[in-house]
Amino acid sequence: MTDNNNNNQAPAKKKKHPGILKILQSILAGALGVQSGKRQEEDFASHSPWPYIIAGVIFTAGFVVTLLLIVNWVVSK
The Cα–Cα gap between 25 and 12 comes to 27
User: 26-71 pLDDT, tens per residue?
Assistant: 888 888 888 888 888 888 887 788 888 999 999 999 999 999 999 9
Query: In angstroms, how far is the first alpha carbon of the chain from the final one?
Result: 88
3-state secondary structure 44-60: HCCCCCHHHHHHHHHHH
Domain range summary for the chain, segments of one domain joined by +: 20-76
Q: Is 63 exposed, middle or buried (0-12, 13-18, 19+ CB in 10 A)?
A: exposed
If DSSP codes are grouped into helix, strand and coil, which group holds residue 61? Answer: helix
Q: Model pTM? A: 0.66
